[in-house]
Amino acid sequence: MESSASPETRLMKGNEALAEAAIRAGIHAYFGYPITPQSEVLEYLALEMPGRGGVLLQAESELGAINMVYGAAGAGARVMISSSSPGISLMQEGISYMASAQLPCLVVNVMRGGPGLGTIQPSQGDYFQAVKGGGHGDYHLPVLAPASVQEMVDFVFDGFRLAEKYRTPAMILADGALGQMMEKVSLPPANSLPYPEKPWATTGKPKSRERNIITSLYIEPERMEGINLQLQQKYRRMLQEVRYETIETADAEILLVAFGLSARISQKALELARARDIRVGLVRPITLYPFPTEIISALSHRVNSVLTVEMNAGQMVEDVRLAVNGHCPVYFKGRMGGMIPSPEEVLAEIEAIDAQVEQSA
Amino acid sequence: MNTAHEIIIAGFGGQGVLSMGQIIAYAAMMEEKEISWMPSYGPEMRGGTANCIVIVSPTRISSPIITQFDSAIVLNQPSLDKFGKAVKPGGLLLCERSAILSPCTRTDIEILSVPAFEEAQRLQKKQVANMIVLGAFLERRPIVSPENVLQALKKVLPERHHHLLPLNEQALQRGKELAHEFAAVNAAH
């Protein structure tokens, strides 16, 4: 156990950095079940939490784990759960229940290639699942997409802030490469994330108030619609949390849109293209929900083409097309099943688009 | 070093290619540089090639995953076959001599071949072969200082092995000498 009064710099794997951040963010509990490529989260916490406080439990399954999260969150605990794609699929029922019961928690998906059990290599194939609901019913989660080990740390704090502010499960959508790679990270001091009041939590009924009830079951449709209206109002308020990064967009003629690891690869492609005098810019959505529609829409009036790069068959590109709304052509480059597009592959797409524009000019 | 240096280190799992990369990364961190260390992971580690991509840069690193390298360090033939062609023109290819049956014939890159396994046997510890290779590499591409490499070694080597630090230091030194010897022999030819 170490003292952690001020920020400190370390070289860490993404998964371990995220786990360390969770401890420093003051989690009361973590529930999980091992799966590659995120097992280091559970392993790190299993080593560290007994000495530093909090409950760690390796559940009998992902279903068990997510329902333990429901229980802990209902009791007012700050609680995290992590897994990788197939495990996250198993948790969807519980996540939907928590969205309905308005329970804050942080869910981390270190994505691997699918569908099915798939592969253990990195992927972004769970974009739809993460941003369009995932489980049943009309709900959304705020979704943060880290692109560096530093963001694996920072977004634990941001994730809990969002979860607790909006009383909702929040998600960090990372991938196997971000989990396994090492980078320099600056770790915030422990206990630097204040605990909000949770007057709704089931902490034992004092005489001074009515009983708190946490449920997602409302048999009368009138009441259920009321809950839905409340949720939708919350999701509209959540739009103000939109975050993105722009790189060299000022004079861009071709705009790349990519998140997470794909954004890092796209940035390298941007550098290669700029060295060949092709004016490329990049928008990196940091929140995938809410999606940075406005900036993409605004830039689509200034560029001549948009290229979306993802490690899937084309998921975020649908949201990009909605934002561009026909103002310019939207192209897509993707690899699937655990394959990662190389910067040169992305550059080839950029050059092909550039050649086409030149020809039609 | 004012520009980024992009390295691939590859060999069989167990040869210490990942820790070699970590040592470079730790040393670079002490020098306030930007770094990324990206390992291959998964079933390919057992029996096949294991590798890591290490990028050391004075500025923010874009992609941690790249396909062209300033330097390739290869400790077996499959790694040479895969990454020998991925060295940028003018770059460095460093091979473990006895592991390579069919050497690289490129003339547009610098090739350095050191008998690290044999020298490690001579030091009575075959596990330090990777440190011999690292010593040879840093002699040719001094991207981090020798002092910081020794500090980094302390971080990467588990504490229960810290009695082996002097031996590792010796191996780094031997690697440096081998790089010199290789250059001298090549100059004579």
pLDDT in tens, B16-40: 999 999 999 999 999 999 999 999 8
Q: What integer pLDDT is reported at residue B121 of this predicted model?
A: 94
Element (H, E) at A122: none
Q: What integer pLDDT is reported at residue A4 of this predicted model?
A: 43
Question: Is the predicted pLDDT of residue B45 greater than 90, yes or no?
Answer: no
Asked if the Cβ–Cβ distance from B62 to A340 is below 8 Å, we say no
Element (H, E) at A34: none
What sign for the dihedral angle of Cα A199, A200, A206, A207? positive
Q: Which of A135, A170, A186 is nearest to A12 (CA)?
A: A186
Chains A, B: CB pairs < 8 Å: 69
Q: What integer pLDDT is reported at residue B153 of this predicted model?
A: 94
**Which candidate from B22, B42, B63 shows the least CB-CB separation from A121?**
B42
Identify from B65, B67, B148 which residue to disrupt to test chain A contact, counting A C-beta atoms within 10 A and taking the largest count.
B65
Question: Is B142 touching A (CB cutoff 8 A)?
Answer: no
Mind telling me how many Å the CA of A266 is from chain B's nearest CA?
8
Name the token pair of B4: 């980024």
**In total, how many domains does chain B have?**
1
Q: What integer pLDDT is reported at residue A158 of this predicted model?
A: 98
Contact A322, A293 (CB under 8 A): yes
Match 């991925």 to its residue by tokens: B86
Distances from the Cα of A141 to the Cα of A105, A133, B42, angstroms:
10, 7, 31
A223 CB neighbour count, 10 Å cutoff? 10
Q: Is A106 exposed, middle or buried (0-12, 13-18, 19+ CB in 10 A)?
A: buried
**Which candidate from B42, B62, B155 shows the least CB-CB separation from A268?**
B62
Q: What integer pLDDT is reported at residue A2 of this predicted model?
A: 45
Q: Which domain covers residue B137, as residue numbers?
A: 5-188
Asked if the Cβ–Cβ distance from A183 to B37 is below 8 Å, we say yes
Q: Tell me the three state secondary structure of residue B172.
A: helix
Contacts of A177 in chain B (CB under 8 A): 38, 64-65
Mean pLDDT, chain B, whole residue set: 92
Q: What integer pLDDT is reported at residue A1 of this predicted model?
A: 40
Taking only residues 147 to 186 of chain A, the set having a beta carbon closer than 8 angstroms to any beta carbon of chain B reads 176-177, 180-184
CATH number of the domain that residue B119 is part of: 3.40.920.10
Asked if the Cβ–Cβ distance from A264 to B26 is below 8 Å, we say no
Q: Which residues of chain A have pLDDT under 70?
A: 1-7
Q: What integer pLDDT is reported at residue A118 of this predicted model?
A: 95
Asked if the Cβ–Cβ distance from B62 to A177 is below 8 Å, we say no
Mind telling me how many Å the CA of A68 is from chain B's nearest CA?
30
Q: What integer pLDDT is reported at residue A149 of this predicted model?
A: 98
Taking only residues 70 to 109 of chain B, the set having a beta carbon closer than 8 angstroms to any beta carbon of chain A reads none
Asked if the Cβ–Cβ distance from A342 to B66 is below 8 Å, we say yes
Q: What integer pLDDT is reported at residue A255 of this predicted model?
A: 98
Question: Is the predicted pLDDT of residue B154 greater than 70, yes or no?
Answer: yes
Match 């009383």 to its residue by tokens: A167
Which domains can be identified in chain A, with CATH numbers? 8-240 (3.40.50.970), 244-360 (3.40.50.920)
Name the token pair of B72: 């390739």
Q: Is B182 exposed, middle or buried (0-12, 13-18, 19+ CB in 10 A)?
A: buried
Confidence of residue B179 (pLDDT cuts 50, 70, 90): very high
Asked if the Cβ–Cβ distance from A181 to B64 is below 8 Å, we say yes
Question: Is the predicted pLDDT of residue B81 greater than 70, yes or no?
Answer: yes
